[in-house]
Amino acid sequence: MRIGILTIGNELTSGKTQDTNTSFIARHVFRQGWEVAAMLSVGDDDEAIRSGLEYLLGLAAALIVTGGLGPTTDDMTTAAIARAFGLPLFTDEAVLEQIKERMTSRNRPWIPNNAKQAAFPEGAERIANPVGTAWGFALKRYGKLIAVMPGVPAEAEKMLLEGVIPRFREEFAEKVEVLTRIIKLSGVSESAVDQLLADIPLAGLGVGIGFYPRFPELEVVLTLRDDLPERAAERMAQAEGLVVQRLSGHIIAYDQETLEGVVAALLESRKMTLALAESCTGGLISDRLTDVPGSSGFFERGLVTYSNLSKEEQLGVPAEVIRRHGAVSAETAVSMAEGVRRIAKTDFGISVTGIAGPGGGTPEKPVGTVFIALADGAKTECRRFSFPWDRRRNKVLASQWALMMLQNRLVGGGEDHAQ
Amino acid sequence: MRIGILTIGNELTSGKTQDTNTSFIARHVFRQGWEVAAMLSVGDDDEAIRSGLEYLLGLAAALIVTGGLGPTTDDMTTAAIARAFGLPLFTDEAVLEQIKERMTSRNRPWIPNNAKQAAFPEGAERIANPVGTAWGFALKRYGKLIAVMPGVPAEAEKMLLEGVIPRFREEFAEKVEVLTRIIKLSGVSESAVDQLLADIPLAGLGVGIGFYPRFPELEVVLTLRDDLPERAAERMAQAEGLVVQRLSGHIIAYDQETLEGVVAALLESRKMTLALAESCTGGLISDRLTDVPGSSGFFERGLVTYSNLSKEEQLGVPAEVIRRHGAVSAETAVSMAEGVRRIAKTDFGISVTGIAGPGGGTPEKPVGTVFIALADGAKTECRRFSFPWDRRRNKVLASQWALMMLQNRLVGGGEDHAQ
CA B124-B129-B135 angle, to 5 degrees, is 40
pLDDT of residue A325: 97
A108–B192: do the CB atoms touch at under 8 Å?
Answer: yes
**Class of domain A177-254 (CATH, top level):** alpha beta
Measured between beta carbons, the chain A residues lying within 8 angstroms of B191 are: 71-72, 108, 111, 113-114
pLDDT per position as a tens digit, A197-208 = 989 999 899 998
SS3 B227: coil
B107-151: pLDDT as tens digits = 777 777 788 889 999 999 999 988 877 899 999 988 899 999 999
Q: Which helix (H) or strand (E) holds A113?
A: none
Rounded distance between C-alpha atoms, residue B123 and residue B85, angstroms: 11
So what's the pLDDT on residue A111?
80
Searching chain B, which residue's CA lies closest to the CA of residue A37? B42
* pLDDT score of A414: 45
CB A205 within 8 A of CB A241: no
What pLDDT is recorded for position A417? 41
Residues of chain B with C-beta less than 8 angstroms from the C-beta of A306: 286, 290, 295-296, 299-302
Residue A415 has pLDDT above 80, yes or no: no
Residues A26, B20: C-beta atoms closer than 8 Å: no
- Beta-carbon separation of B36 and A13 below 8 A: yes
pLDDT of residue A418: 37
Work out the percent of chain B whose per-residue pLDDT is above 90: 75
Fold of A262-410: Maf protein (3.90.950)
Check CB contact under 8 Å for A287 and B283.
Answer: yes
Chain segment B353-409, per-residue pLDDT in tens? 999 999 999 999 999 999 999 999 999 999 999 999 999 999 999 999 999 999 999
Q: Is A280 exposed, middle or buried (0-12, 13-18, 19+ CB in 10 A)?
A: buried
The CA R_g of chain B, rounded to the nearest whole Å, is 28
What pLDDT is stored for residue A57 in this prediction?
94
Average the pLDDT over A83-110 and give the result. 87
Reply yes or no on domain B271-410 having CATH 3.40.50.300. no
* DSSP strand pairing (A217-226 vs A177-186): antiparallel
Mean pLDDT of A266-274: 98
Phi, psi of B129 (to 5 degrees): -110, 105
Residues facing B351 on adjacent strands: B277, B373
CB contact set of A277 (below 8 Å; sequence gap of 6+): A302, A303, A305, A311, A314, A315, A336, A337, A339, A340, A349, A350, A351, A352
**Shortest Cα distance from B13 to chain A (angstroms)?**
6
Chain B partners within 8 Å of A358 (Cβ):
293
CB contact under 8 A, B290 and A282: yes
Residues 6+ apart with CB under 8 A from B283: A278, A282, A283, A284, A285, A286, A287, A290, A302, A304, B302, B304
* Angle, alpha carbons A298-A303-A305 (nearest 5°): 160
Q: Where are the domains of chain A?
A: 2-171, 177-254, 262-410
CB contact under 8 A, A15 and B38: no
Tell me the C-alpha distance between B402 and A51, whole Å.
46
Q: Flag if B303 and A303 touch (Cβ within 8 Å).
A: yes
> Closest Cα partner for A156 from A7, A287, A11, A285?
A7
Q: Which of A384, A267, A368 is nearest to A334 (CA)?
A: A384
Residues in chain B predicted with pLDDT less than 70, given as ranges, are 174-175, 413-419
Q: Can you name the CATH fold of A2-171?
A: Molybdenum Cofactor Biosythetic Enzyme; Chain A (3.40.980)
- The span from the CA of B295 to the CA of B286, in Å, is 10
> What is the band of A94 on the pLDDT scale with cuts at 50, 70, 90?
very high
- Chain B nearest-CA residue for A399: B287
3-state secondary structure B23-92: HHHHHHHHHCCCEEEEEEEECCCHHHHHHHHHHHHHHCCEEEEECCCCCCCCCCHHHHHHHHCCCCEEEC
Backbone angles phi, psi at A386, to 5 degrees: -125, 100
Of A18, A51, A304, the CB nearest to B20: A18
Mean pLDDT of chain B: 92
Which one, of B301, B252, B297, lies nearest residue B275 by Cα?
B301
Query: Scanning every residue of chain A, which has its alpha carbon at the shortest distance from the alpha carbon of B306?
Result: A301
Q: Do A106 and B301 touch (CB under 8 A)?
A: no
Q: Show residues of chain B in contact with A1, CB under 8 Å.
A: none
Q: What is the pLDDT of residue B208?
A: 87
Q: Which of B28, B49, B304 to mutate to test the interface with A (most CBs of A within 10 A)?
A: B304
Tell me the nearest-neighbour CA distance from B155 into chain A, angstroms: 18
CA distance A334 to chain B (A): 19
Residue B391 vs residues A129, B48, B396: alpha-carbon distances, Å: 17, 43, 9
Decide if A278 contacts A285 (C-beta within 8 A).
Answer: yes
Q: Do domains A177-254 and A262-410 have the same CATH topology?
A: no
Distance from CA of B94 to the nearest CA of A (A): 34
Cα–Cα distance list, B79 to A64, B46, B57 (Å): 30, 8, 18
Smallest Cα distance from A30 to chain B, Å: 6
**Residue B344 with chain A: CB contacts under 8 Å:** 310
Residues A346, A352, A358: CA angle, nearest 5 degrees: 160
Which chain B residues touch A314 with a CB distance below 8 Å?
Answer: 301, 303, 314
Q: What are phi and psi of A152, to 5 degrees?
A: -60, 120
pLDDT tier, A413 (very low <50, low <70, confident <90, very high otherwise): low
What is residue B413's predicted lDDT score, i.e. its pLDDT?
Answer: 55
Which candidate, A317, A322, A356, places its Cα nearest to that of A340?
A: A317
User: Residue A387 carries which side chain, given as an amino acid letter?
Assistant: F
Q: ipTM score of the complex?
A: 0.82
Alpha-carbon separation of residue A381 from A228, A338, A349 (angstroms): 49, 10, 11
Residue in chain B lying closest to A53 (CA) = B55
Count contacts between A and B (CB, < 8 Å): 269
CA-CA distances (angstroms) from residue B97 to B92, B94, B110, B118, B216? 9, 5, 12, 9, 55
The neighbour count for residue B110, using CB atoms within 10 Å, is 11
CA distances from B405 to A359, B269, B284 (A): 29, 18, 16
Helix axes B46-59, A46-57, angle to 10 degrees: 160
**Residue A152 with chain B: CB contacts under 8 Å:** 213, 215
- B286 and A283: CB-CB below 8 Å? yes
Angle at A374 between CA A370 and CA A376, to 5 degrees: 170
CA dist A395 and B235 (Å) reads: 42
Contacting residues of B for A11, CB less than 8 Å apart = 210, 212
Its pTM stands at: 0.82
In terms of CA atoms, which chain A residue is nearest residue B281?
A: A287
Please report the pLDDT score of residue B229 as a whole number: 86
- Cis omega (within 30 of 0) for bond into B318: no
Are B391 and A307 within 8 A, CB to CB?
Answer: no
pLDDT of residue A189: 84
Least Cα separation, residue A408 to chain B (angstroms):
23
Place A210 in a pLDDT band, splitting at 50, 70 and 90: confident
Residue B204 exposed, middle or buried by CB count within 10 Å (0-12, 13-18, 19+): exposed
Identify the CATH class of B2-172. Answer: alpha beta
Distance from CA of B264 to the nearest CA of A (A): 14
A370: nearest Cα among A357, A305, A259:
A357
Mean pLDDT of chain A: 92
**What confidence score (pLDDT) does residue A371 get?**
98
pLDDT in tens, A217-239: 999 989 898 888 899 999 999 99
